[in-house]
Every structure is written in structure tokens, then in C-alpha cells.
Structure 1
Amino acid sequence: MGDNSNVEFTKDELRQEFIDGSEFAAQKAKIPPLTENEIDYLVDMFAAPTRIWGVQRGHEVVMTKDGCVNALNSSQMSSGVVAPVNREVGVRLYESMLGFDSMEISHNDYSVKPQRFLKKLEMLHVEILMETTIFPLLYGFMPNLGLYFKTDGPFDNPYDLMQQGKIEEARATQEAAGEKCLEDCIEMSDCMVEMGADGIDYDTVASTGDGEFAAVLKSTEHVAKKTGLPVEIGMSTEMVTGVHGSIEYNGKRLAGMWPHQQLQVCEEAGVSIFGPVSTTNSKKSTPWNLGKALVFVKSCTDIAKVPIHPNVGMGVGGVPMFETPAVDVVTRCSAAMIEIGKADGL
């Protein structure tokens, strides 16, 4: 299930779960559902008694990552194991011991607003790791527009204003906060370019809605045009929430965009890798959630001009919302993203 609890299905029930999840996504985003052959593959995959599932030889893909080495040195609350290693050691372990294809460098406090105050320290860490590793290193953070609103930030909280019926004021404060968020995103991106980072990763994008998405698109445009550095955008949800409701990018309203529409504006901004998201419904089965996720991912890979790296992890990409999801589920969701979703990476 989506909460990692066990459930048993007959083969017919299993098939229906995939169909229902697929049709749910197709109806919501007005895109094609999974085909009968794709459903057959998924049913055989989930009905197989093997614990681990993989892709066909030659179908392997590369991985990009968020959260730096949190899985090693952070607390259990962040799915970490509290290993006594710093970032430099952790990143080198990911390269030499775990064999990762690339790595993201970031601060444990993952949002751009607090990272900006640690800019010089972060630049030093990037410089050291660029000198001691070989694989590509991206510097990453969440834009997290919510931190710019009171009580955490200087701008009036739009949610409080909306409750008072002050819609225009709520929109104005989002626009003002968005400009400050954009300024911080550009500042942190530019200084990492100076340190020789191989790319920038904007992660959990649009978590505060369309205003945040607009700031990231503009920052991506700046980095792509001014520096030529690759930018990866990993979304936070399958549909952009219209907290503002009227913000546009290149004449396209951002509120209500589904993954294939998000991809198109990200490509216009100059993104190099796009990470679509399908959030897990913890009350639904994993087959239902995976069927939904694959429809969203396929809608991107069918039209993409850039590599697609769907988010596959706790609570996204069909994977249960649980700190340590079962390996049989994680490997099946990952393989399905490649074999059925045609993902270029994860």
C-alpha cells in the first residue's frame, strides 16, 4: 500500500489497480492512459515471487540525487543513520563505495534562504569536493518560498490574507516574496558557477505554488543564458497549486499545470534535466500509485527535448510514504519508470 503496509490481490484485482491508477491520471491531466501491453508487463512484474526486480541488460540509466549525504549523517527523521561523517567524506563515499553517477552538494538546512547566509562556507565545500572527486557535482537547494512569509520571513503571509478576503494583497505579497526568492536563487547559483560546480539542482520546486515556480523558471533562464551551466529542476508535486492563480511565464498560466505542461515551460527557460513528480496517495495501493505515476512520466518522455529523471523515492513515483520502503517495491517502481515510463534517469 501507499503507507508501506502489506496487501494481497488476485491477478485480476492487481490488473484493475493498475488500470484505475492509470485512468485517474489520464482523466486529470487529459493525457493517454497505459496500454494493455504495459499493464501486462506491470502485472507480471508485481506477481513475480522475486524480491528484487531490475531492468533488461543495456537499459540501465544514470542517477541524479538530492539531499546531499543526508541518508548518511542526518537524523532518523530525515531517513538518515546518523553516521559520524561530514559532507566531504560522505560525498566521496557515494562516489567510491556506492558508485553513484553524480552527486548534489547542499547544506542540511536545504532551503536557499538559510543557505544564502552560509554562502562563503558552501563555496569552500564545493571547491574542496571539486578537487577531490571525479563524478559530476551539482549544487542544490529548495527555493521554498514559504520561508519568506511571516513568521519566518519579512513578507505578509498570503494564506492569512486570503482568509481575510484580501486576495489582491495576498497576490502582491507573493510577487514581492518571489522577487526576493529569485534574487537569492541567482546569487547562490552564480557563486557556485564561480567555484566550478558542474550544474545547479533546483529541488522540490513549486512546493509553495505558482509564485515559487515562476521564480525558479526565471532563475533557470538566468543560469542557462548567462553561464551555460546545466540546470536540473525537480518538481514537488504533480500539479502546480494556484496559490497566486494568475502568474504567467511566457504567456502561460502556471497554476494548474500538469507534468507535461511543466516540462514545456522548463524547456523554454533552458532546463537541462527535468524531474516530474507523482505524489503517493497513502490510502491507495502501490500498483494504483505506480499506474498513476507512469502515465504522468510517459506524458513527459513522449514530448521531451531534454532528459527526464522522474522523482522515485519516499512518497513519490509510486513508492510508499514510509521512511524505509520495502526494497521489492522500490526496485519495481524504479524499473517500471525505465521500461514503461522510458525515463532517461532517476
Structure 2
Amino acid sequence: MSKILTRFGDGYKVELTEDEVKADIEEGCNDAASRAGIEPLARDEQEHIFEMFKNQDTLVGIERGREVVMTYDGMSSKIRRAHIVIDRVQSLQVFERALGADTLELSHIDYSFKPCKPINGFELPDLDLLLNSTVAPVYYGAMPNLGLYSQPDGPCPNPADLLPLGKIDEARQAYEEAIEHAVSDIVFVASAMYEAGVDGINIDTVGAAGDADFLTALKATEILKEKYPAMGIEMGMAGEFVLGMHGNLSWRGVKLAGLYPQDQVRLAQQAGATIFGPAINIVTSGTLPWNVARSVTFCKACSEVSEIPVHANLGMGVCGIPLTLTVPVDALSRATKAHVEICRLDGL
């Protein structure tokens, strides 16, 4: 039997038989289904993924007519990472005019709302230049990043110091205090940017600090939508599962710890988010057929219940993309095709 060349979740190449690829796809689907309490992919959908990996062309493409739009995170720094000396506004012009980007995102190199707040006055002139030199919709993006509010970097006691001492109540209080600081910062920065003309706000990597981080994003989104009903807000997650770092936090009667994408999106849309981005963790020791099938299973369930556009986070280390700085195009194109064609996504 001929071998199929594919990769592991860390990008390393591996050759598998057709039966091994099919088995990995089925196991990936079943893993997601058992964790999230959802249905695995149907046999024809699993076969569709198999055919993508069986095709040994370097690149595979989306079927004509099924193209989707793209939003981005940390967009302002992408070109500079290639050691090209270019400022933020120029890099976003390149994205729009040379690379055909559907949307643009202005962001600070320290991609969190807390450090963006004191320099907000310096961000606004660049936003003005960008709005006057581009046509595509412009987002301003940053992370809640609740960890920045813990000592020694922030004003709140550090839960990581309190928990080993058995001070569980004090650690929870520290998280709750950090939430209020973070919500205030997000609302401040987002309000200033929106009133200056930005088209939308990207609250990114939500849940990186667990359920308190997710609650921060939900509260901030709710406040912003009440303040600016027409504001576009994209909420992109940090992982497939909301960690219970606090453990007792709820929003509108729903406990946040333990939520998977199909439940995360319900809360995001209730808060007022206009785009939701599920993020499915890569397992570096698993093959790409296993990882892609697993991610597609999660994202399909999310897309089926969502009433707002879903843009899956297909980037390094999430949604079937290998955890490697330079993403192989063979892996990227297969993960993209599988998610778009099976999950019926609105974007990436």
C-alpha cells in the first residue's frame, strides 16, 4: 500500500498508510466528541478530510464559490517579524494592496489592553493615518491578558503565589479584582478608538488566564455594545476549553469553567460579539489528520449553534496548524480547506 506524506503537530514529516490516516481521522473526531459532548463527523466528512491528505500536491485549495473573508490578530507586527524595516501603517497598506487582505488590524507590539491604555494618545494618530490611506475595514486589537494585573506587574495579589499557600478564597478575590481593572482598560481603549473612527475591536486570546479572563471579555463586550450598539466586536479565544482558574465564576447563570466552543459562542453572542473565533489546541505528538479532524469536529459544532459569524483561529498551534514558527503551506492549506468546507465557516 502506498504511503501518505503528512506531518505531526510540531511540523515534523511522517509517512502513514491510508489505513493509518483513516484511523487517525476517526480517532480525532471521537476525541473531540467525547470531550465536548458533541457528535463526531459523519463518514462522508471524514472521507473528505482523508481525500485532502491523500492528495499529495503541496497546496490544496478551497472549492470555487466557498471562499471566505479573513480577519487577523497582531497584524501590525507580522511583516516586521521577517526583519523588514517598515512601520505599522505601511505594513497594513502592504497587507491590503499587495496581499489582498479583507480587513486590517492596528495593534501595539505589546498586544494587551493594559499597556495600550497609557499610550492611547499615541495610537490615535496612527489610526488616523491608517483610516485615511486604506479602504478595508480597520480593527484595533489586543488581549485582556489578566496576568498583567497580578503583582509584581500589576496591582492585584498574585493567585499563583496564594494558591500554593492554600489561600483559595484570597486567590479568587484577586482574580475578581483583576477582572474589574481589565474591563475598565478594555472599555477605555476601545471607546477611544471607536470614537476616533475604527471600524471594530478585536478582543483576542480570550480565556488565556482561564474563566476570569473569559468573564472579563464578556463584561467588556456587554458594556461596549450598550455604549455603542453599532460597534463590531470580534472575540477570539485562546483555547478549546475554558480553564477553571477561579472555578466559581458565572455569567448570566452559566458557569464558565469547562465550556467548549459550542457553549462559548452562545455567551459571546449574548454579550454582543459580532464575530466569534474558536481556537482548538494542537497536540504536537498527534498527526495532522488526527489534529485537523479533531479541530473540525469542535468547530462544526460551534458553527451549527452560532447566530453570529464564526472565524476559526487558524494560526500557529491552533485548529490543526503545526506549532512551528514557519507554518508549512501543505499543512496550512489542508487545515484551511477542511474547516471552511465542512464547518461552513464565515471566515478565518
Band of TM-score, shorter chain: over 0.9
Q: What does residue 14 of structure 2 align with? A: 7
1:77 corresponds to: none
- For 1:224 and 1:235, locate their aligned partners in 2 and report how far apart those are by CA, in whole Å: 19
Contact 1:201 1:234 in 2 (8 A): yes
8 Å contact 1:68–1:107 — kept in the other structure?
no
Distance, in Å, in 2 between the alignment partners of 1:125 and 1:38 is 45
TM-superposed CA distance for 1:171, in Å, is 0.3
Shift of 1:70: 1.6
Q: Where does residue 22 of structure 1 map in the other structure?
A: 29
Tell me which amino acid in the other structure corresponds to 1:66. D
Number of residues of Structure 1 aligned to a counterpart in Structure 2: 340
Query: Identity, % of aligned pairs?
Result: 39
Distance 1:277 1:109 in 2: 21
Is the contact between residue 277 and residue 316 of structure 1 (CA under 8 Å) also seen in structure 2? yes
Matches within 5 A, 1:40-79: 40-73=47-80
Rounded Cα–Cα distance in structure 1 between residues aligned with 2:88 and 2:77: 9
Cα distance in 2 for partners of 1:123, 1:247 equals 35
Deviations 1:256-297 (A, max 9, x none): 110011000001101100000101011111111111100110
CA deviations over 1:295-332 (Å, ceiling 9, x no partner): 11001111110000000010001010000121011011
Deviations 1:217-261 (A, max 9, x none): 011111112112010000000000101111111011111110011
Once superposed, what is the RMSD of the aligned Cα atoms?
0.7
What is the aligned partner in structure 2 of residue 35 from structure 1?
42
Is the CA contact 2:144–2:213 (under 8 Å) kept in the aligned structure 1?
yes
Report the CA distance between 1:69 and its aligned residue. 2.5
Q: Which amino acid aligns with 1:343?
A: L
Separation of aligned partners in 2, 1:262 and 1:28: 14
Please give the per-residue CA displacement for 1:92-140, whole angstroms capped at 9, x wherever unaligned.
1100000000011100110111111110011111111111110000001
Residue number in structure 2 paired with 1:237:
239
Which residue matches 1:248? 250
Aligned to 2:96: 95
Whole-angstrom CA distance in 2 between matches of 1:126 and 1:206: 27
Output aligned runs, 1:1-346, within 5 Å: 1-73=8-80, 80-228=81-229, 229-346=231-348
Task: Give CA-to-partner distance per residue, 1:138-171, whole Å, 9 cap, x none.
Answer: 0010110001101211211112111111110000
Q: Is the 8 A contact 2:107 2:141 kept in 1?
A: yes
d(CA) in 2 for partners of 1:49, 1:261: 36
Please report how far the alpha carbon of residue 215 of structure 1 lies from its aligned counterpart in structure 2 after TM superposition: 1.0
Cα deviation, 1:154-193, whole Å, max 9, x if unaligned, reads: 2111121111111100000100011000000000010011
Distance 2:75 2:324 in 1: 20
Deviation string, structure 1 residues 58-102 (Cα, Å, up to 9, x no partner):
0000000000222211xxxxxx20110000100111000000000
- What residue is the counterpart of 1:76 in the other structure? none
Amino acid at match of 2:58: R
Distance 1:217 1:245 in 2: 16
Counterpart Cα distance in 1 of 2:305 and 2:313: 18
Amino acid at match of 1:333: A
Q: Give the letter aligned to residue 117 of structure 2.
A: R
Gapped regions of structure 2 (runs ≥ 5): 1-7
Amino acid at match of 1:296: F
TM-score normalised to structure 1 length: 0.97
What letter corresponds to residue 250 of structure 1 in structure 2?
R
Contact residue 183 and residue 219 of structure 2 kept, 8 A = yes
Q: What one-letter code is carried by the residue in structure 2 that aligns with 1:216?
A: A
- Secondary structure class of the residue paired with 1:94: helix
* d(CA) in 2 for partners of 1:199, 1:122: 15
State the SS of the aligned residue for 1:9: strand
Separation (CA, whole Å) in 2 of partners of 1:53 and 1:87:
31
Distance 1:335 1:49 in 2: 14
Tell me which residue corresponds to 2:5: none
My pick for the range that moved more, 221-230 or 247-256, is 221-230
Conserved? CA contact 2:10–2:323, under 8 Å: yes
Verify the 8 A CA contact 2:76 2:108 in the aligned structure 1.
no
The separation in 2 between residues aligned to 1:32 and 1:123, in whole angstroms, is: 46
Give the 3-state SS of the residue equivalent to 2:140 in structure 1. strand
Asked whether the 8 Å contact 1:144–1:208 carries over to 2, the reply is yes
Q: 1:268 & 1:69 partners in 2: Cα distance?
A: 30
Structure 1 runs not aligned, ≥5 long: 74-79
